[in-house]
Amino acid sequence: MEAAEHHIIEAIVAFAEPLLAEMELELVEVQYRREGHGWVLRLFIDKEQGVSIDDCASVSREVSAYLEVEELIDHAYHLEVSSPGAERPLKTAKDFVRFAGKKARLKLRQPIDGQKVFTGVLQGVEEQAVVLESDGENLLLELENISKARLML
């Protein structure tokens, strides 16, 4: 990711996180990238009860107004606001605790015994490590070693 794209994402996160907290929503992820039909700015939002179309529309209006005033993006782009879906990414220790009891897939930066990908049922977090029940045993996977994680159907 180039510096300009990184700056745009950081600015949107700084604006959106407190706004969404007031709306009782969570900012899960922001993506800004060039795709086949041009530039796309995507915000994934969530809340305990699930995200409604009205939630997405409200966030879209607020972010659009912010972007118009701040003039962060000086070319055409599409803004999309949606739920992260059933296979949502897990990024923070809070996510791993919140979704305890759910099935997840975790990819590590550094392999453990030659293995980089683990699937199982989340059991929570202990001392900066995710507890994942896999094949009848609890594995401790250090948070800092997890490069990617998401819920599974």
CATH number at residue 32: 3.30.300.70
Question: 37 is in which domain, residue-wise?
Answer: 3-82
Q: pLDDT at position 1, please?
A: 64
Predicted local confidence at residue 4, as pLDDT: 83
Stretches where the chain sits below pLDDT 50 are none
Look at residue 147 in the predicted model and tell me its pLDDT: 96
**What's the confidence (pLDDT) of residue 26?**
94
- 60 and 13 in a common domain: yes
* Domain identity same for 75 and 100: no
Q: Which CA distances in Å does 29 have to 40, 79, 119, 139, 150? A: 13, 13, 22, 27, 12
Question: Would you state the pLDDT for residue 3?
Answer: 84
Residue 87 lies in a domain: no
